[in-house]
Amino acid sequence: MPHNDEVLVVHLGGLGDVCLAESLFLSLREHFGDRLVALGNRRFLDLFSEYFTRTHGVESRHWLYLFSEKLTGPRWKRIVFIGKDREGSIRKRWKAHSAEEPLFIDMYPDGAFGPAEPRDAGGSAREAIHIEAYQLDQLPAYGIEPARANITAKKAHRVILYPEEGFSKEKWPVENFIALFRLLRGKGVNTLLLRPPELSLPVEDALSFEDLSEVK
């Protein structure tokens, strides 16, 4: 059961989407303080556990009440949803579980993963914007000061490739990741191919998340 002052942050994205949201997590932490509880893919959210009091995996039946109109569940001080909700149906449903108006952060602009040159609804070219900046620009409307995470650049000694299947958005084909993996390996570059749980890759050297603990 949540405490009355806890804020539930829901992010159902994959590894790349969660990494791009680090500045958003930082901004929410600085605004709400030590009250954030994260819900989503726990393996990914745990990479940023310093921003949350605890993390939860959305696959647990405990969270079914958030996605069903027939089930009831506990109320949170506020629910923050980072994702896509074009029709507003999720926000409408979650009002019953949020003491304050749910806070919605659109994960990425429509068409962000389409043509190389983004265009608006009228077909005119629009200025490209980084996903991180796009998310942070939405915070002032909620009275939240954007904060950008300071990421220290480090010389890479290894390349890690992580292919994912595209469902709701277009992604680089898995075959391209495999071809790039073999190309880099052939050039002597220390390269790892990380296998998502939902994919079976025709590469003997592909690693699972569990294998990473053994990588030096």
User: What CATH number is attached to the domain comprising 15?
Assistant: 3.40.50
Of the listed ranges 72-76, 99-103, 125-129, 168-172, the least confidently predicted one is 168-172
Which one has a higher pLDDT value, 88 or 80?
80
> How many structural domains comprise the chain?
2
CA distance 128 to 59: 34
The reply to whether 125 and 174 lie within a common domain is no
CB 148 within 8 A of CB 22: no
- Expressed as residue numbers, the domain containing 184 is 159-214
Do β-strands 103-106 and 191-193 pair in parallel, antiparallel, or remain unpaired? unpaired
pLDDT tens across 84-132, in order?
988 889 989 999 999 999 999 999 887 555 444 555 555 555 577 889 9
Residue pointed to by tokens 């939902």: 198
> What pLDDT was estimated at residue 145?
98
* End position of a domain, from candidates 114, 142, 170: 142
Residue 76 per-residue DSSP state: B
* CA 112, chain centre distance (Å): 15
The pTM is what?
Answer: 0.73
The reply to whether 102 and 195 lie within a common domain is no
The reply to whether 17 and 90 lie within a common domain is yes
DSSP letters, 35-68, are: TEEEEE-HHHHGGGGGG-SEEEETTSGGGGGGG-
| Of 45, 47, 33, nearest in space to 78 by CA | 33
Signed CA dihedral, 171, 153, 44, 6: sign only: negative
Please check whether residue 151 lies inside any domain of the structure: no
76-89 average pLDDT score = 92
Percentage above 90 pLDDT, the chain: 54
Look over the chain and give the mean of its residue pLDDT values, rounded to a whole number. 85
Please check whether residue 153 lies inside any domain of the structure: no
pLDDT level of residue 213 (50, 70, 90 thresholds): low
Residue 55 has pLDDT above 70, yes or no: yes
The reply to whether 87 and 138 lie within a common domain is yes
* End position of a domain, from candidates 91, 110, 142: 142
Strand partners for 39: 10, 56
Residue 207 has pLDDT above 90, yes or no: no
